[in-house]
Each structure stands twice: as C-alpha cells, then as structure tokens.
Structure 1
Amino acid sequence: MSSFALPSPGRPAWRRRLSAMAVWAGAWLLMTALDGQAELANLALLLVLAAALCGLWLSTLESLACCALAVLAFNWQFVPPRGTLSVDLRQHLWLLFTMLAVGCMVGWLTGRQRRDADAARAAAQSAHLLHQVNEQLRLAPPAEGAAHLAEALRRLSQGSLAWWLAAPHEALGDAQPSAPLWHCDWQQPSDEELALLQECQRSAQATEQGPAQGQWHHQHLLPLRGAQHCLGAVLLRLPPGADWGPLQRDTAQALCDQAGLQLERRQTEQRAQRHSEAAQNQQLRNTLLAAISHDYRTPLATILGAASTLRHQWGKLSQDQASALAGTIVDEVEQLSTLTDNTLQLARLDAPQHALQRDWESLEELVGSAVARARSRYPGVRMNLRLEAGLPLLRCNAPLLVQLLNNLVDNAVRYAGEGPAIEIIARRLDPGLLLAVADRGPGIPAGQRERLFQPFERGNAPAPGAQRPAQRGAGLGLALCRAIVLAHGGQISVRQRQRGGASIECRFPIEPQPLAQTDAPEALP
C-alpha cells in the first residue's frame, strides 16, 4: 500500500521554549559584554530584537510575559541606580516604557503571524492529504478503499482505529444483504464499541468521547457519509495526552466523507452495470426469440408444403417433380440445422465463465472437413485451397473451427454465387496464423464491415446467381464466427479485394508447439 505525505506534527513545546531561552540568554550576554561601551538606548534595541525573535517560537501570552520580565531585569541591571527597580531620570522611565510597549507589540505581531502561518501550512497540508486520499480511492474497490482511509487516519492522528463498513448490498437497499466488513487495530473491539460504530452509522453524526476511567485517550466516532447513505463508521483512538483541534477533526471527517462518496459511487456504478447487463441480456433474448420464430416459420412452411404434396399427390407426380420436392425438404432442413447450430453455439460462447475445450489440431484436416462438406452441399461451387506448407498445429476446439469455416463458406456462396471460385487461405502471418475465406462477389461497403459481425445483421444485396437470397437466415453466422475467433484469442476482420469481392480474415495466435513424442517407451507384452 502506498504511503501518504501527511501533515507532520509541530515542534514540541519544550523545544520551542528552549530555543526562546537560548535567544534571551544570548541577548543578555551580549548586553552584558557591551555594558559601558554602548549607550543605554542601544542596549535596549538588543532587548527589542530578542523579543521579536522569541515571538517565532513562543505563544503571544508567553512573549508578552517574557518581554515584561526582560524590561524589569534590564531596569535592575543596566538602568541607574543599578540593583534597584527605581528610576532616577525621566528619560530612563520613557525608555523603559517604550521598550516594554515596542517589545510587547513586536512579540504580539510575531506570534500572530506565526499562528497564521501555521494555520495556512496546516490547511495546505490538509488539502494535499485530501487530494492524495482521493487519488487512492478513485479506482480502489470498497474493501481496499477502506484500508486506504484507515492508513491515512492512522498517519494523521498517530493513533489506532476500528472501522465498520456496511455491506454494499445492504447500504444500497438490495433485497439480499451480505455481511458487513469491519477491522480493528487492537485485539477485539468490545460489544459497546461495536454498538457505538453501528449507532454512528445510523445517526451519520460525528461524536467525541473523553478519556474514560482507566483510559488515557480521547475517542472520535466519524461516519462514512455518502450523498444518500451512510456506509459505515470509524472509531479513532488518539494517543495518550493528545487532543485534536477543529482543523484536525474537520480534516478527519472530510477524509471519511470523501471515502463514503467514493464507495457509494463505486457501488452505484456496479449496480447500474448489473442492471444494464441484465437489460441487454433480456433484449438479446427477446430479439433472438423474435428472429428465430420469424426465420423458422418460412422453412417449416416450405417443408410442410412439400411433404404434404408428396403425401397427397404421390401418384400424380413425376419422378423429377418428386425428386425436386424431396430436395427442397432436404435444403430447408439443412437451413434449419445450420440456424439451430449457430444459435446454440452463440448462446454457449456468450454465456459467462464458458470453459472452451481445446486440443492440438492440424489446420489442414480442419480445412479438409469444411471443403468436403461444401462440395457435398454445393456441387457447382469451385473451391481453391491456398495452404502454406508446414503450418504449425493450432490449439483450438475442432468442432468450433469447422463450424467457423462452414459459416464463412456459406456466407461466401450466398453472396458471391456459384460462378467465381471460393478461396480458403491459410498461412503464417507474424506473429500469428491467418485463416481467410475469400470470394469474388460484390464485396462489403466500408460502413457495413464492422456491423456485419453483430447478431441479426445481414448484407444488403447478393450477387446475381447467388445460391440463396440474402434475406435468408437470422443474421447469426458472422456473429458466431466473431464469437468463435474471440474465444480462441484471435481477431476477425473484413478486407475488400482489389479485383472485387471480400475476404473475411481470422488471425489466431500461435502457441508454443507440443514436443514430439519420438522417444516414447515401447509397450510391454
């Protein structure tokens, strides 16, 4: 925990008085040495100078008392007749009176200036302390913020403390409160002290208790007040013989109020974030249900119509007509299967704390599985493979990577058609691995490239002769691709090709390769 530059205590009273006594002693020795060599008025100036210097260390009352005693001693030792307090000449009387008046005035002014300077220095140190604590509390969680506050109060008072912090849920009125946080510098706070802390939190008022029987310290109870709630309280024990002035008490309460505001702000932000996430999840579920219900309706109606025709008019249909209806049913079932797989996978990947099962896989085998499925589903589509030789193994979830390639190929066929070839590219790209599916379709405008990776977003216009119209599907394919790539620690983007078309590029990190097990022991018979 970082330290605080807190106000340092002033010089002890005995050291200040010792400094003043040294000044008076030096001035008296100097006047004694100059006795008989300098005029009486010049000796009096040394006394006035000593009074002014002593005002830097003594209080106003102490300065006035020392000045009066010094004038009497000056009259006794230097003013004729010496050894008595009587004065022979009138000018000597005026000299003594002037010395007393000037010395008292200088001492009073010097003491007042010293008090003002001490007050200004203490106020500046207090403001600096508040700024330091605010920087510590700005990004600290509630429990750590309370620890920062405790350290600052210890350094400010040189004492010990116990703090009680109400649980965040309880302080903000949630239905399920959790246990409060508390800490004590001494071994165990008494039941009375805990009751005082709870009462201070409930009343949100600072109180002070004098030293009780057997105790030699004052106790201060300070509430941790926020804008709307009092989040806790602090019980501060001062060291023996110490007492606080108004500035110290106000600074300590300002520290507690500052901590209370920061804690309340953090807790309010956490509640707002939880409510925002819950609202977004609810909106996503509603949109997902609406999109699925809409996109399931058309394939189901098509399947129902084709199956009904085959059932009731089987004898009237030619072989080609029956085959076409059966092909329609297969196509629509495949569309429903793809939509269902995309929806389930997207829901799993978006779930919190989803554990992704990964293993070392050959990228050539994954691409081969996707190409085999594409050639079976789209017989008229040409597939060009551009795989770099000696590609490293990829630590991934194989079914998800195959589903990623299937969705990218389906998207390319849907928008580019069966004319130009679909290219699958895999090569090293420092510092990772590039896996891309490229087509020669109309491409994707720059303003739509990032939006297409959001759920329920579709492209605008398919290419002439495309395999499927662009409006088919719930718009989950590229959103699922993005979720799969991010789950593997990669990035996905769209690049416009120079001679037309688009290339959807996935970049994956290359992890340290597993050691080849060439020295494995032979199996025993």
Structure 2
Amino acid sequence: MSRAASDVRANPDLLLRALEQDAHTQEYRERRGHLKIFFGYAAGVGKTYAMLQAAHAAKRRGVDVVAGYIEPHERPETARLSRGIECIPHMSIEHNGIELAEFDLDAALARAPRLILVDELAHTNAPGCRHEKRYQDVEELLRAGIDVYTTVNVQHIESLNDMVASITGVVVRERIPDRVFDDADQVELVDIEPEDLLERLKAGLVYRAAQADRAQRNFFSIENLTALREIALRRCADRTGRLADAARVLGNRDYYTSERILVCLSPAPTNPRIVRAAARLSKAFHGELVALFVESPRTQTMDEDERARLSSNSALAEQLGAQVETVYGDDIAFQIAEFARLSGISKIVMGRTGEAHGLHHALFGRKSLVERLIAIAPNLDIYIIPDQPAPARRGHDRQAASGPHLPSRRDMLLTLGLSAIATAVGTAFRGLGFADSSIISLYILTALLTAVTTAGRVCTIVSSILSVVLYNFCFVTPLFSFDSYDRSYLVTFAIMFATAMVAAELTARLTDNARASAKNAFRTRVLLETNQLLQRAQGPQARARVAMSQLVKLLRLDVVFYPADGDLLGEPLYESAGAEDHRTSLFTEYERAVATWTFNNNKHAGASTHTLPEAQCLYLAVRAGNEVFGVVGIDLKGRVLEAFEHSIVLSIVGECALALESDKAAREREEAAVLAKNEQLRANLLRSIGHDLRTPLTAISGSAAVLRDGGEKLEDAKRLELADAIYNDSLWLIDTVENLLAITRIEDGDMQLNLTSELMDEVIAAALSHVARESHGHRVTITHTDEILLVKIDVHLIMQVLTNLITNAFKYTPKGSTVTIGARREGSSVVVEVADDGPGVSDRDKPRVFDRFFIAEGPRPVDSHRSFGLGLSLCRSIIEAHGGIIEVADNKPHGAVFRFTLPAEEIEIHE
C-alpha cells in the first residue's frame, strides 16, 4: 500500500463509533416510524400545501394516510387539498374559559395508520394534554411505528432562536430541540422568493387583511425575510453536510478530529443564549457538547427562582444534545480548567456580563473569571459571548451565585445579642484597666462568632458595623457620643471595620465550605453505600427496596417503585420519608398511568418534566440500555431537584438497574445451566436406550421369527417357552417406557398429583398382582397390622413405586429368596418397606442408588436385562412429590430394605 493511500485511513476510534451509531440507528429505525419535515423560513411559503400534496401522492400509492391535525389557516387552496384525507377528530380542551382544539394523540395511536399528518411541529399543547409540546406527541407516534409528515419554520429551531430574535426583534416562544430536526429521516425545504411571499401576504393568501398589515409592519419585511431565508438554507446545508460526513466516515474516505466543547451553566436569565451559541459552535465543529455546572458554597443560598432557571437551562442543554455534568469547588475557574483537562475539552464557551474593572480590582488586583481561566488553562480555546447582567445581579464571576437574602429573626437576635455581650464584657475590661486593643479584639471576635453561627453575609456586615459603632459610643472619649476628640480614631475605626469584615468573610467562607463539603460528602457516601447494599441484597424486590431507601435518605422525599412484570408494571412498592403515609395520593390511577407511560417509552415523565407534568411524582425509568426493569417515582412536593442531586439520583437509579440486570443475567445463566443439564440427561438417556433396548427387541424379533417360520414343527413346550420370552421382554419394555414417560413428565414439570384417600393394604395388593408373573422362584410375604392405614396419594404413581421396588428385588436376588412387604404407622406418616434377603446394596453405592442413570457394580440382574438406572430415581421423585422421603438400609442378617414414607390421613368416625 502506498503512503498516500495509508494517509487517508479513517480514525479507527471515530470509525468504530460511527459504525456502532449507524448499526444502532439502523436497528432503531427499523422498528420506529419515519419522520419527514416540510421546512420553511416563514409562514405562508407553502409548507402545509406541500405536505398535503405529498400525502395525496402517498395515498395514490396505497398508503393508509390520515390527518391528525391540520392548522386551520383559512386558505382556500389548502382547504381544498385537505378534502379526501381521513381526519382524526380533534380533542377539545377548556383553558381559561376558551375551548381549544388539540391533536388527539390517543385516538391517533388507536387508529394506527401507516402515515399521519401533524401540522405545526413546534406547537405548545394546552394544559391537560399528555405532553407539553407537540413534537413530543410526534416522537411517541414514531416510537409506535407510525410515519409522520409535519411542518416547521426556521425560527422554531432552538439553537437559532437568539439569532432570529436579533434579526427580527421577535422572541419565538414555541421551539423544538435541534435533535428533532437533525434526526428526521427527510427534510424538504419549501422555498419561494421573499418578494413572492410579500405578494402572497398582500393578496390575503397568508393572513387576513388586518393581521397581514400588522405582520408586514412588524415581521414580514424584505430584510427580515431575506435573512431568515439565508438561515434556513444554511441550516439545510449543514444537515446535508453532516449526513455526507457520516457517509464519508463509513466509506473510509475522510474523517474529522473529534472536538469536545464545554459550555458553562448558571441560573442567569441570559444563560440560554450562551448555551444556544455553544450548540451552534459544536455543530459547526462537528463536536460533542458538554454542559458544566460548578456548584460552590455560594450556590447553596440560591432562591427558588434561581434553582428553577438553573433546572431550565440544564434541560435546554440536554435538548440541544449536551451531556450535563456537575462538579463541586470553591474556585470556579480551577474547577472548569481541571474538568476540561480530565475530559479532553478543546473549546470553552462562556458568557461575559460586560464587567469593568472597578476600584476593588485596582486595589486588590482581582482578576475576572475569564482572566483566571486563561491563566490556569492557556492551551484551551475560550469563546466569550458578550452579554448584559441581569437587573438585580452584580459581580463578574457569580456562576450560580445568588444575591443577598434577608436574615432570619433568630440570626438578627443572635447578632444583636453577641454585640451586647461584647459591649458588657468590654465594659468589664475597661473597669479592670485592660487596654483598648483588648476591647477591639473582643469586637473582632464577635464578628467572627457571628459569621460562624449565622447564615448569609448580612448578619456579618451588621456585626462589623455594630462593632465600630458600639466601640465608638461606649469606649471612645467623649463616652456615649459618636464624637471623638482624637481624629486618629477614624483610622482605628476603619482598620477595625476592615479587619472585622475580612476576618468574618473568611470565617463565613470556611463555614460555607464545611457545610457544603459535609453535604456533598453525605451525598457521595449515599451513592457508595448504594452500590455496596445493592450487591448484598438478594432478589429484585430487595434490590428495589435498597434503591428506594437510599433515595429517601438522599432527598427526604417519598419514593414509589413499580417493578416490571413482563410487558406490564407490577404492584408498586412504597417508601415513606416521614411518619405520614401518602400512598393513597401516590397510588392513583393517573399516577400509575404516568408510570406506565414512562415504562413503555423508556423516558422520564411527571412532575418537573414536559410530559404529563400534572403528576405528583417525577417518574424515572430504571433502565440498562434499552431494557426497563421498573419505574421509580419521587414525590417532589413542588420542589425542583438541584443539578448535583439530580445526577446522584440518576446514578442510584442506574446502579439499581445494573443490579437488576445482574439478577436477570444470573437467572438466565441458571436456566441455561438447567437446560444444558437436561439436554445432557436426555443425550445420556438416548444413548442408553439405543444400546440397551437392542437386546430385548432382538430377542422378541428372533422368537417371533421362529414361531412364524417353523412354529408348527416345534414342540408345545418349546413354543410356550418362546411365547413366555416374548411376553417377558414385552413387559420389561412396557415398564421401561412407563418409567421414561414418567421421567419426562417430571423433567418438564407436568407431573400433577391426583390425590385420593386409599387403604395402603389395598394398594400393596394391587401392586403385587401386577408383578405376580415375575415372582417365579421367589417367596413373597406381607406383614399386616391391625391398624387401618389410610393415606392420601396418587394411587397410580404409588403403585408404580411399589412395582419398581418389588421388581427390583426380584431382579437382584437369586431364586429362593424372600421379599417381604409391610406397612405401619409412625406418627403422622405411614412407613412402607420392601425388604429382601439377597446380596444387598454396598455402603459405597447407598448414597447414589437413587441418582438418575446410576447402576451399581456387581452381578447383573437375574433376568439378564440391563437396567437404565431410572427406576429408583423415579421412585424418589414420586415420593418427594407426595411430601415423603425414601431411603435404603441393610436387612439383617443380609439383604436390603427400601423404605419410604407417605402422609397419613386421619379416619373420621361418625357416631
């Protein structure tokens, strides 16, 4: 191979990833529906019209086509094309006194057409619908194997939202994740010239007259439409380029170096713009997007609004295809740089709030977050997205930091109390003649104690101010006045205030770090404990209980667990976080329906999600790969999980899924081992049958041939001898086949006991009548008792046990031997014994005599038929099925005793 040829080989890691993704995508698409998007740059370009034309073409090809939802645009040509296509009735929902017509997802799934038309993919559903967004309805249709035609405009794509808003001045609220557009099987660009669209608008073919005038003034300008058209064309070209890149990689033509792009998450209102910019950058570089949130001591005091925004920004990053990660540390710049180094990040995207270097930067030389990040990681490419600070927030690197919070009454009283105590102690110091430096140190100590014992910074600031004021008022001449004869005290006050503030701030930071470290150590310990407890738990239910208890310990919220039972959910388990039992409100039909949807679709649903958000619980699929082992429901009680909490919850659920998968794999291995053992037994049985049945069959066929060809020349005694031989060999074969059939039923689990009440003496007599012909040369005795022995047995099977034991005694004892059969009552059991005075069973063979296919060494049976080693094994299986035991012992002075027990039945005496 030439050097030129070898230089163009694809990166093997990237090629393997592309092949795996292509295989997974191919398998997934074989079982899901296909999505075709009719894409335009503005309303009125003809997306719905083109979709209806394509639907009629499909219908002419014999495809089952229905219209799920067509937006009533009141356009004559569109209305005309809608005729002739079956329509699913809309679902009517009342919202704020207005009747809204929405797409009926359940009716569409029940109708199950081959192709369904669903207009306006980015539409937001009314409250009460299963999903918050229509694109989620479409995804459920695709998972059900239904093909979908739909429409969308360029301004509705998430990553392009800010760009479109900057061009048009209009922020579009209805958006779809980029992945929905990128994963579509087909995208058809519906395009017309902007001038032609304006003509259509003026002619009333897009909106009504009044609405058209307003749209033309605010949105439909030639500049806006031209820019939007350019973005739409570029977006389609990017999609085509990515498809070509994937084909090129699989064809070993070329490859791209994988880029990993990091975007920083925060609760800032402007953070979504940063996330969207990073998503566009990752697509441009064909890279992987990672979203990082750095949790620091300052994030512990976020209010509910900030937590909700952070959760929303994380969800946006996930929608745009980012892998969301959370790390913890006080130094945000160091944490970002270290994560980037360990994760192979090549580019970082962050926002800059237009900060200026103020006085505190000049005095203390404090660098901004971006400057510190550049200093720590000079080799990283850092992209800064200019931004403006939120109105109520200041500071340059407050990633997820909150503004000041009003202190509680307790903290304020504690602050005032400590200052009062310091003043009293300072007065005592003055009386004892201590220097002023001791009193100043006392007030600094008070500020430190306030920082340690109170939350937030407000009380620390108040304590520092009070220290200066009280010292001036109580200890500086003139006393009890804010005046001072010595102006040098002003410097003392300033230094005292600065010292108290710096010391208190450092103490507060240490306290916050200690609290946050303890909190995160607890969470990490819960995660580590989960793995250990899951390993020790035995069985799926025990493992589920472990995961539930760990979630309750972590979140202090009620948890439910629905285990998978085949293709359905089983009965739920419940774990309470407190003394109250809330299972009545959590085990409703609606909550179970949401859990079932999560199970069937392998996706999150319920509270704090966009799918069935009215549910009380957040439902998470306990999944390993594409297999769902159950559903966990967490009763959020209106709160939103923190980013770090959410990642720990997902880790616990994932550990539980792996443990349940391990359980399933172990069961499958056991079943496979049993099957292999059974197959081996069957193989041994067939080999034994093939060899050992040949002798009696040969004897039967030979005797029959002699009788057929020359029977009339034989003496009567000889003919009778041949007939007896045929009969005896036939009986042996019948007994052997019966044993084989019984063994087969036992192995397959098909042996069912037909229990009836029987007298044991009658059962023994019936069994002896079956073996009477084989007793030639043997003496048979029966020991009787005066007691009536009544047992509840399957008489046919117990007779087979007795027949096997008696026949076995005849075979392995010489003629003239005695076989003794008896039964007696012992406690709640009836003991039956079959004894002989033959050679007996050696001590070495006793432990294995009831094993299948075991044949004791020693003299062959008297009738010369080789045993299969099945008779005694069958006897043990039958006796154990009746709840008894069977054993072999020595018969004194010689011989063997086979003894088994059966449950006795009490005799009812009616007077």
| Shorter-normalised TM range | 0.7 to 0.9
Matched, 1:365 2:759: no
Matched, 1:294 2:660: no
Matched, 1:440 2:833: no
Amino acid at match of 1:115: N
Once the two structures are superposed, residues 182-227 of structure 1 have per-residue CA deviations (whole angstroms, 9 ceiling, x without a partner) of 99878748999998987875xxxx9999898xx8999988664537
- Tell me if structure 2 keeps the 8 A contact 1:219–1:237: yes
Equivalent residue, structure 1, for 2:908: 515
Equivalent residue, structure 1, for 2:30: none
Once the two structures are superposed, residues 269-303 of structure 1 have per-residue CA deviations (whole angstroms, 9 ceiling, x without a partner) of 33333433433444444433333343332212101
- Aligned match for 2:464, one of 55, 59, 68: 68
Matched, 1:51 2:444: no
Once the two structures are superposed, residues 486-509 of structure 1 have per-residue CA deviations (whole angstroms, 9 ceiling, x without a partner) of 121112222234533322221223
- Tell me if structure 2 keeps the 8 A contact 1:157–1:238: no
Map 1:137-286 to 2 at 5 A: 138-141=537-540, 149=547, 153=551, 156-157=554-555, 178-179=567-568, 188=590, 201=603, 224-226=622-624, 238-240=636-638, 242-286=639-683
Map 1:90-109 to 2 at 5 A: 97=495, 101=499, 104-105=502-503, 108-109=506-507
Change (3 A) 1:222 1:333: closer
Matched, 1:317 2:714: yes
Equivalent residue, structure 1, for 2:420: 29
Amino acid at match of 1:65: I
Change (3 A) 1:403 1:97: same
Deviation at 1:72, TM superposition (A): 2.4
Change (3 A) 1:52 1:376: same
Deviation at 1:51, TM superposition (A): 3.2
Which sits farther off after the overlay, 119-128 or 477-486? 119-128
Once the two structures are superposed, residues 243-285 of structure 1 have per-residue CA deviations (whole angstroms, 9 ceiling, x without a partner) of 4445423321221111111221122233333433433444444
Once the two structures are superposed, residues 222-241 of structure 1 have per-residue CA deviations (whole angstroms, 9 ceiling, x without a partner) of 6645379676776867444x
- Tell me if structure 2 keeps the 8 A contact 1:361–1:395: yes
In 1, distance between residues paired with 2:301 and 2:747?
63
Once the two structures are superposed, residues 384-443 of structure 1 have per-residue CA deviations (whole angstroms, 9 ceiling, x without a partner) of 333443153110011211111110111122222234322223223345332222223333
Equivalent residue, structure 2, for 1:501: 895
- Tell me if structure 2 keeps the 8 A contact 1:455–1:475: yes
In 1, distance between residues paired with 2:699 and 2:617?
82
Amino acid at match of 2:503: M
Matched, 1:354 2:751: yes
- Aligned match for 2:862, one of 467, 491, 495: 467
- Tell me if structure 2 keeps the 8 A contact 1:222–1:234: yes
Change (3 A) 1:454 1:34: closer
Equivalent residue, structure 2, for 1:131: 529
In 1, distance between residues paired with 2:642 and 2:485?
46
Change (3 A) 1:267 1:413: same
Matched, 1:382 2:779: yes
Equivalent residue, structure 2, for 1:115: 513
SS of the aligned residue for 1:55 comes to: helix
Deviation at 1:477, TM superposition (A): 0.8
Equivalent residue, structure 1, for 2:582: none
In 1, distance between residues paired with 2:695 and 2:877?
27
Q: How many residues of Structure 1 are paired with residues of Structure 2 in the alignment?
A: 488
- Tell me if structure 2 keeps the 8 A contact 1:442–1:462: no
Once the two structures are superposed, residues 59-105 of structure 1 have per-residue CA deviations (whole angstroms, 9 ceiling, x without a partner) of 57456424422332333322314532758386896587468536743
Change (3 A) 1:515 1:55: farther
Equivalent residue, structure 1, for 2:342: none
SS of the aligned residue for 1:433 comes to: strand
Structure 2 gap ranges (5+): 1-299, 304-404, 431-435, 573-585
SS of the aligned residue for 1:313 comes to: helix
SS of the aligned residue for 1:455 comes to: coil
Of all paired residues, the percent bearing the same amino acid is 21
Amino acid at match of 2:417: G
Deviation at 1:350, TM superposition (A): 3.4
In 2, distance between residues paired with 1:86 and 1:199?
76
Equivalent residue, structure 2, for 1:6: none
Deviation at 1:360, TM superposition (A): 0.8
In 2, distance between residues paired with 1:24 and 1:326?
116
Equivalent residue, structure 2, for 1:523: none
Deviation at 1:327, TM superposition (A): 1.7
- Tell me if structure 2 keeps the 8 A contact 1:56–1:111: no
Deviation at 1:127, TM superposition (A): 2.7
- Tell me if structure 2 keeps the 8 A contact 1:209–1:219: yes
Amino acid at match of 1:84: F
Equivalent residue, structure 2, for 1:172: none
In 1, distance between residues paired with 2:596 and 2:756?
55
- Tell me if structure 2 keeps the 8 A contact 1:130–1:255: no
- Tell me if structure 2 keeps the 8 A contact 1:441–1:500: yes
In 2, distance between residues paired with 1:288 and 1:424?
31
Equivalent residue, structure 1, for 2:853: 456
In 2, distance between residues paired with 1:281 and 1:312?
45
In 2, distance between residues paired with 1:302 and 1:403?
26
In 2, distance between residues paired with 1:208 and 1:198?
14
- Tell me if structure 1 keeps the 8 A contact 2:452–2:507: no
Structure 1 gap ranges (5+): 1-9, 169-177, 520-525
In 1, distance between residues paired with 2:421 and 2:654?
55
User: What is the root-mean-square deviation of aligned Cα atoms in Å?
Assistant: 4.5
Deviation at 1:165, TM superposition (A): 7.8
Which sits farther off after the overlay, 479-488 or 88-97? 88-97
Relative contact order: is structure 1 or structure 2 higher (C-alpha 8 Å, sep ≥ 6)? 1
In 2, distance between residues paired with 1:252 and 1:12?
20
Once the two structures are superposed, residues 12-38 of structure 1 have per-residue CA deviations (whole angstroms, 9 ceiling, x without a partner) of 999984443333232333344456442
In 2, distance between residues paired with 1:297 and 1:414?
19
Change (3 A) 1:340 1:230: closer
Deviation at 1:321, TM superposition (A): 2.1
Deviation at 1:151, TM superposition (A): 6.9
